[in-house]
Amino acid sequence: MPTFLAKKEVFDWLKQGKKTIDIRKGRPQQGAVAVFISGPYKLALKIVRVESGQLTDLIRVDNYRQVIPTASKLDDSLTYLRGLYGVYDGIFTAYMVAK
């Protein structure tokens, strides 16, 4: 069961169902349920599908708002995640989650 730390903002998006794709640095972790932790709060969501690849391959015009709900364009989502992960050219994993 993958466990991920989440910023309060990201945790709230996941809890409200606004964010259905969570992208993390590194190769996929095994498990059918992802647990997100923000401070004392925990949220368990079912992993529906997993994709791996470069960040620019995972975030597309058809899904960037599912990754960062407040993004008004594709570049906003990329900028947000690059702010978290910095310059990283390795593999990212997209977890598609549902309640």
User: At residue 86, does pLDDT exceed 90?
Assistant: no
Torsion (CA) 61, 65, 68, 73 in degrees, nearest 10: 50
* Mean pLDDT calculated for residue range 31-54: 97
User: At residue 72, does pLDDT exceed 90?
Assistant: yes
Domain 3-98 bears CATH identifier 3.30.499.10: no
Q: Which of 13, 34, 21, 30 is nearest to 63 (CA)?
A: 21
Q: State the Cα–Cα distance between residues 33 and 53, nearest whole angstrom.
A: 21
pTM: 0.93
